[in-house]
Structure 1
Amino acid sequence: MTDQKPSVLFVCVHNAGRSQMAAGFLRHLAAGRIEVRSAGSMPADKINPIAVAAMKEMGIDITAERPKVLSTEAVQASDVVITMGCGDACPFFPGKRYEDWKLDDPAGQGIEAVRPIRDEIRSRVETLIAELLEP
Structure 2
Amino acid sequence: MSSVLFVCVRNGGKSQMAEGLMRAAAGDAVAASSAGTRPGTGLNALSVESLREVGVDISGGVPRALTADLVAAADLVVTLGAEAHVEPVDGTPVENWDTDEPSERGIEGLERMRLVRDDIAARAAELAARLTADQPKRPET
What is the 5 A alignment of 1:77-116? Answer: 77-93=73-89, 95-104=91-100, 109-116=108-115
Q: Distance in 1 between the 2:101 and 2:80 partners?
A: 9
Is residue 18–residue 105 contact of structure 1 (8 Å, CA) maintained in 2? no
Q: Paired residue for 2:130?
A: 131
Question: Does 1:24 find its partner at 2:20?
Answer: yes
Q: Which runs of 5+ in 2 are unaligned?
A: 135-141
Q: TM-score, normalised by structure 2?
A: 0.86
Q: 1:35 aligns with which of 25, 31, 36?
A: 31
Residue identity matched to 1:127: E
Q: Paired residue for 1:76?
A: 72
Task: Answer with 10-19 or 23-32: which moved more.
Answer: 23-32
Q: Paired residue for 2:139?
A: none
Detail structure 1 runs of 4+ shifted over 3 Å in the superposition: 104-107
Question: Does 1:7 find its partner at 2:6?
Answer: no
Q: Distance in 2 between the 1:106 and 1:13 partners?
A: 18
Q: Distance in 1 between the 2:73 and 2:51 partners?
A: 27
Q: TM-score, normalised by structure 1?
A: 0.90
Deviations 1:53-103 (A, max 9, x none): 000000111100011100100000001100011332312135322211112
Report which of the two has the higher share of helix. Answer: 2
Provide the secondary structure at the position in 2 that maps to 1:44: coil
Q: CA RMSD in A?
A: 1.6
Question: Does 1:117 find its partner at 2:109?
Answer: no
| Structure with bigger gyration radius | 2
Task: Answer with 27-36 or 5-14: which moved more.
Answer: 27-36
Question: Does 1:59 find its partner at 2:58?
Answer: no
Deviations 1:4-52 (A, max 9, x none): x100000000001100000001112211111111000111110000000
